[in-house]
Amino acid sequence: MASFRKFTITVSLLFVTMGLAVAGDSPQEQRHELMEDTGGGAKTIGKMLEGENPFDAAAAMEALQTWAKVAGQFGDLFPEGSETGFDTEAKPNIWSDREGFDAALNAWAEAVDAAIAASPQDLEALGAAAGPVFKKCKACHEEYRVKDE
Ligand code: HEC
């Protein structure tokens, strides 16, 4: 029975991986995926900060690394022609105010880098490191995402 359960878990993990692999190649879908990953990291860290989950330095660092990965890729996913479609929540001003959008992305990336460099080892340090990052998430969404947080 135990080995059967293990098998089921392995199979469902496989489906999750496949789901990601076949999610679609359009820039709209790719940036949606990246932001979903970003949201996952925010959940991991948010639950620790709210005391819902115990502090876990490795899991927090993994979430920060996910954000750094997203920060490195997100800006490439707004080519001409991807302004609409796939229920995108990207606002048209990403294309009309590309400089402002890049600046918002850079500000976020810098906050993420600083948080990684701080390598938080307790809850207080995590709050101090992640706080500025969350502010930049919000700032970018307010300007460049259709649905506000
Ligand atoms: C530089 C701008 C920017 C930053 C920084 C940013 N986001 Fe986003 N976010 C967007 C845009 C644009 C979209 C809409 C993407 C689309 O639909 O094409 C989005 C969408 C999302 C979504 C919805 C996923 C989807 O596409 O439906 C979540 C969740 C999200 N962001 C969470 C976060 C969190 C959490 C942070 C910070 C840890 C963050 N974002 C930082 C611009 C940003």
Does ligand 1 come within 6 angstroms of the Cβ of 60? no
5, pLDDT greater than 80: no
Paired tokens of 24: 């679609």
Does ligand 1 come within 6 angstroms of the Cβ of 136? yes
Candidates 25, 125, 130; CA nearest to 79 is 25
pLDDT at residue 146, as a whole number: 94
Q: What is the CA radius of gyration of the chain?
A: 17
Q: Which amino acid is at 94?
A: I
Q: Give the least confident one: 4-8, 96-100, 125-129, 131-135.
A: 4-8
Q: Which amino acid is at 12?
A: S
Q: How far is the CA of 58 from the centre of ligand 1 (A)?
A: 24
CA distances from 122 to 17, 23, 72 (A): 31, 36, 27
Q: How far is the CA of 39 from the centre of ligand 1 (A)?
A: 8
pLDDT at residue 23, as a whole number: 57
Does ligand 1 come within 6 angstroms of the Cβ of 63? no
Does ligand 1 come within 6 angstroms of the Cβ of 28? yes
Between 77 and 19, the higher pLDDT residue = 77
In tens, the pLDDT along 38-63 reads 999 999 999 999 999 999 999 999 99
124, pLDDT greater than 80: yes
Q: Under 8 Å CB-to-CB from 83, ≥6 apart: which residues?
A: 90, 92, 94, 95
CB atoms within 10 A of CB 45: 26
> What average pLDDT does the chain have?
89
Cα–Cα distance measured from residue 40 to residue 42, given in angstroms and rounded to the nearest whole number? 5
Q: How far is the CA of 35 from the centre of ligand 1 (A)?
A: 5
* Separation of CA 54 from chain center: 21
Measured from the Cα of 88, ligand 1's closest atom is: 17
